[in-house]
Amino acid sequence: MKISIKYVGMLVLISIFGQAQQVYPTIGKTDIYNTKFNDIIPHDAKIEVIATGLKWAEGPVWVKNGNYLLFSDAPQNTIFRWDEKGGLQPFLKPSGYTGLGQYSDEPGSNGVIINNKGNLVACEHGDRRISELPLNGKSGKITLADTWQGKRFSSPNDICQSTNGTYYFTDPPYGLPGRETDTENREIKENGVYSIDPQGNVKQIIANLNRPNGIALSADEKVLYVAQSDGQNPQIMQYPIKEDGTVGAGSVFFDFSKYEKQLGKTGADGIKVDAHGNMYAAAAQGIVVISSTGELLGRLHTGVPTANCNFGDGYLYITAHHYICRVKLK
């Protein structure tokens, strides 16, 4: 069949526009402190803003079985969903406080993960628990843990899970109505770090940190990292994991106070570790990239307070204040 050149041109245009991806606005810049940074982040990387209008975005997680992003907005007591086709939309509300009236400034969920079973696990500030919710809709939310030694948690903040099923999470006071000064609601004096073993047993494994916040496992799952959001000790700690799931004595993995010239006075919020052991720490108005041996490599500088990040579909997704951002990884 004869096809005119004009008609072929129309087909080409339709094909081009059909395959075109949405162009997103960009913010910030990249700061390179070590050439190893170029092995992780492309030299021409852009920080794309894929969604905005949040109050305080936190805890992003990519859902492989569905190709979409979930993240928390604790002040709005909501977990949101984002994907290329549908954009931003509420996924779960309430996400962390099911009571009546005003509870605190951040009553919703904070850190969220997809566990080994493919379910959503959330750190709930207002209901002061770790919850699990199947994404297939076949059953409702259950409580994995809400107490230690009969005392309620303060406000579980961030969480990770090992391949053997053990959860590790932090419990600072940020979600309590009175935060650090809340003596009325607080039941556990320590700002602790806890584990939940596969049988559901809860242990307080770290008790001497002032402000435990972000938490992550090393690539080989032999080390537990905990970020200290403490102005006096703005450090990321590392702890060897024992066979019983508890941890040994801690040591400093990265000390932000030694890099004030490059990063300013800062400390880490959420942290993640990639398959090569590199760490991505939400700090210094962006994501600070640190090698597996504790070298400062670079920063994805969003220019706004940045809470957390996670990997998915070849990108690093970033929750930065009222923005959801992403950066293409090498």
List active site positions: 269
Check whether 157 is labelled as a binding-site residue.
Answer: yes
Distance, CA of 231 to CA of 255 (rounded, Å): 11
By the 8 A CB rule, do 37 and 289 touch?
Answer: yes
Locate 212 and state its tokens: 């435990």
Distance, CA of 104 to CA of 297 (rounded, Å): 37
In this structure, how many other beta carbons lie within 10 angstroms of the beta carbon of residue 138? Answer: 6
In this structure, how many other beta carbons lie within 10 angstroms of the beta carbon of residue 270? Answer: 28
Burial environment of residue 219 by CB neighbours within 10 A (0 to 12, 13 to 18, 19 or more): middle
Locate 18 and state its tokens: 């059909």
Distance, CA of 50 to CA of 314 (rounded, Å): 15
CA distances from 101 to 57, 106, 107, 141, 209 (A): 22, 13, 11, 21, 32
Q: Give start and end residues of each alpha helix (H) in 226-308.
A: 260-263
Check whether 213 is labelled as a binding-site residue.
Answer: yes
CA distances from 295 to 35, 252, 277 (A): 11, 13, 12
By the 8 A CB rule, do 312 and 69 touch?
Answer: yes
Check whether 65 is labelled as a binding-site residue.
Answer: no
Which parts are annotated binding residues for substrate? Answer: 157, 180
Q: Which residues are annotated as a binding site for a divalent metal cation?
A: 58, 213, 269
